Amino acid sequence: MHNPNQICIYLAEGECEEKILKALKLKPAQIPQGRVKRFNVIQRELKPAYLMSFPAGSKVILVFDTDGEETEILKKNLQLLNAQFGSVEVVTIPQYLNFEDELERCTDVVKAQDFTKSNSVKDFKNAVNRMKENEFRNALKRHKFDFSKLWIKNPPKAFRFVKQQSDQIKLP
């Protein structure tokens, strides 16, 4: 359950994750308000100086893909967040494989490219990234977006050390 007075900081792996987080914060909000920053916790190590900007008592929400096998940097980042910065609450939202797979599960599209009528995944991502948040949210509605199906699957084997905690940010 989310505390409405708690500051939320979303660390989104890429532009598409950033886009959906911003769209879900639009009113009526489906996730708590907060800052969305693009930071790939799978590929980049968090630095203590960066984390010092996070207010004590805030909730840091990590949204990342699980379509690779490399987890060492993620493990280091989680260790840093949990050990040295115990004053923040960490919530992990591993996307089952990637953004495209999540979108296919929670909308009526068969392939993610159908969402933007794109010819390739690259074109799809570019089209999504060009959309404004309200435009993206309207596209989700048009494609029968079911929020209850977003971020529900447990991650693949290499990421089993990470819990799917999306229920901690989904608003009723």
pLDDT digits (tens, 9 = 90+) for 67-115: 999 999 999 999 999 876 568 899 999 999 999 999 999 999 999 999 9
pLDDT digits (tens, 9 = 90+) for 42-72: 999 999 888 888 888 899 999 999 999 999 9
Q: CA 57, CA 163: separation in Å to the nearest integer?
A: 21
Residue pair 101/66 in contact by the 8 Å Cβ criterion: no
pLDDT digits (tens, 9 = 90+) for 154-167: 999 999 999 999 99
Q: Can you give the pLDDT at residue 146?
A: 97
Q: pLDDT-derived band of residue 135, with 50, 70 and 90 as boundaries?
A: very high
pTM of the model: 0.94
Strands 89-95 and 8-12: unpaired
Q: CA 52, CA 56: separation in Å to the nearest integer?
A: 9
For residue 59, what are the β-bridge partners?
8, 89
> Nearest 5°: phi and psi at 90?
-105, 130
